[in-house]
Amino acid sequence: MTQTILTLLSALIWWVLYSSATAIVPAALVYFTLRMVERTPVVFNRAYFACLLWTLFSVATAGLVLLAQKSSPAAGYALFASPWMRGALIVDMLAGVLLVWRLVPRVDARRVRITSACMAVASVTVLALLLGAILASR
């Protein structure tokens, strides 16, 4: 019983640690995209917080989809061939838009436009898919 609790606690700590390290690149991309689209600076630490929550949500949904498939994909398997994974990507992008829109203010204390949040999330998603395709082709 104690070993199970310690294992789950360790997995939770590593999940948060890796997600916080991974959220730095999307946060920088969201920050610069919002700064360019909004034509005014936004608060970086709030962009990082929104991206951290988005990354935690992304890892959890992707993990749950892989667990629900009851088998790991074979080598060379296209991960997005599964309709569940494509659905999880859509839900993930919607969650990212809502988090960026609600949590990232401009420096003049106004909320960013939802279209700007969509642009920022789309740029992060395109970059992630391109990097995944490049790394998978090697």
Task: With respect to residue 127, please indicate whether it lies within any of the assigned structural domains.
Answer: yes
Domain count, the chain: 1
Closest CA to 100 of 126, 119, 85, 86: 119
The DSSP line for 77-94 is: --GGGSHHHHHHHHHHHH
Closest CA to 27 of 12, 41, 15, 45: 45
CA distance 43 to 53: 16
CA distance 1 to 51: 34
Contact 34, 112 (CB under 8 A): yes
Task: With respect to residue 108, please indicate whether it lies within any of the assigned structural domains.
Answer: yes
Task: With respect to residue 8, please indicate whether it lies within any of the assigned structural domains.
Answer: no
Q: Which pLDDT value is given to residue 71?
A: 65
pTM over 0.85? The answer is: yes
Task: With respect to residue 55, please indicate whether it lies within any of the assigned structural domains.
Answer: yes
Contact 31, 42 (CB under 8 A): yes
Task: With respect to residue 107, please indicate whether it lies within any of the assigned structural domains.
Answer: yes
Task: With respect to residue 130, please indicate whether it lies within any of the assigned structural domains.
Answer: yes
Provide mean pLDDT across the span 4-25.
Answer: 92
Q: At what angle do helices 44-68 and 24-38 cross, to 10 degrees?
A: 130
Closest CA to 33 of 137, 124, 127: 124
pLDDT tens string 56-115? 999 999 888 888 877 666 655 667 777 888 899 999 999 999 999 999 999 998 999 999
Provide the residue range defining the domain that includes 102: 20-136
Task: With respect to residue 63, please indicate whether it lies within any of the assigned structural domains.
Answer: yes
